[in-house]
Amino acid sequence: MPHKIKVAPSILAADFGHLADEIQRVEAAGADLIHIDIMDAHFVPNLSMGPGIVEAVRKITRLHLDVHLMMDNPGQYLKAFAKAGADGLTVHLEVLPDPREALDSIGDLGLTRGLSLNPDMPVERLANHLAAVDRLLVMCVFPGFGGQKFIPESLARITAARRLLDLAGRTEAELEVDGGVDLQNAGSIIQAGADLLVGGTAVFKAADAAKAIVSLRGG
Ligand code: DX5
Ligand code: ZN
């Protein structure tokens, strides 16, 4: 089945000194969503942004704000991110072995319910939660930093996640791939079943963001 491929530039790779211009630049270049990486220095060894940045970004663009919560206690902050203007919130299975309550809360807030897993978490662990998610986010690097190299074994995990969604009849749920996505590996990632590609370095550091987005989608 051909997937409609979307690209979500991650502003972690943007020039923070010119964030408004950077977002307008990738929007004009054809970005489908804006990916915002929230890091708490506990779940991941880095600090990045909070609801204040989401609120500021909300004023700049009408694109869907895809907020990736790399934090130990996402449940406490769902409302704050919703209020700030997020359209989708993605939580990690590593910190919420039973993510149901958080996913239901995200849905009750009217937002896209995302569930993510790190490269060392068995994909099968997603199986019980598929009915409660709108978006599965497969990490292809260990989260915390942009610009890392795609872990090749991730391709099999993307294929497995797609199979789980298909078997569960969740064909309308999105399969998002994040970390190390570039112009070389995007084709194989799409072939494996992804329909939403996060591109930090690949979009923001490209000489021509529009060309990069078209190439990531497969030309
Ligand atoms: C990694 C983040 C990613 C990252 C992607 O911890 O979740 O979204 O910003 O950046 P690139 O595309 O440069 O790997
Ligand atoms: Zn991310």
Quick check: is 13 in a domain?
A: yes
Asked if residue 96 is part of any domain, the answer here is: yes
In a domain, 188, yes or no: yes
Express each pLDDT in 170-218 by its tens digit: 999 999 999 999 999 999 999 999 999 999 999 999 999 999 999 999 9
Q: In terms of C-beta density within 10 A (0-12 exposed, 13-18 middle, 19 or more buried), how is residue 156 classed? A: exposed
**Amino acid (one-letter) located at 44:** V
Side chain identity at 185, as an amino acid letter?
N
Place of tokens 């220095």: 41
For residue 1, is it within any domain?
no
Please tell me the pTM assigned to this model.
Answer: 0.98
Residues with CB under 6 Å of ligand 1 are 10, 12-13, 35, 37, 68, 141, 143-148, 178-181, 198-202
Domain count, the chain: 1
State yes or no: is 37 an active-site residue. yes
CA angle at 80 for the pair 75 and 81, rounded to the nearest 5°: 85
Distance 164 CA to ligand 1 centre (A): 24
In a domain, 155, yes or no: yes
Q: What is the pLDDT of residue 150?
A: 98
pLDDT of residue 3: 63
* Res 4: pLDDT: 86
Instruction: Give the environment of ion ligand 2: residues with CB less than 5 A.
Output: 37, 68, 178
Smallest-distance ligand from the CA of 67 = 2
With beta carbons less than 8 A apart as the criterion, state whether 64 and 34 touch: yes
Asked if 178 is an active-site residue, the reply is yes
Residue 140 lies in a domain: yes
Which regions in the chain score pLDDT beneath 70? 1-3
Say how far apart CA 170 and CA 160 lie, in whole Å. 14
Query: Among 40, 87, 178, 182, which one carries the catalytic annotation?
Result: 178
Assess contact for 119 and 92: CB atoms under 8 A. Answer: no
- Contact (Cβ atoms closer than 8 angstroms) between residue 74 and residue 42: no
- What is residue 84's predicted lDDT score, i.e. its pLDDT? 99
- As a whole number of angstroms, the distance between CA 187 and CA 185 comes to 6
Catalytic residue among 37, 40, 66, 134: 37
Q: Which residues pair with 9 in a beta bridge?
A: 199
Give me ligand 1 centre to Cα 145, in Å: 6
Distances from the Cα of 51 to the Cαs of 61, 83, 99, in angstroms? 16, 8, 21
- Could you tell me the distance, in angstroms and rounded to a whole number, from the CA of residue 104 to the centre of ligand 2? 21
CATH of the domain at 80: 3.20.20.70
Q: What is the pLDDT of residue 194?
A: 98
For the CA of 180, the nearest atom of ligand 1? 14
Domain of residue 181, residue span: 6-216
For ligand 1, atom 4: residue with the closest CA: 146
**Could you tell me if residue 134 is inside a domain?**
yes
Residue 39 lies in a domain: yes
The encoded tokens of residue 167 equal 């078997």
- 219 CA → ligand 2 middle, Å: 23
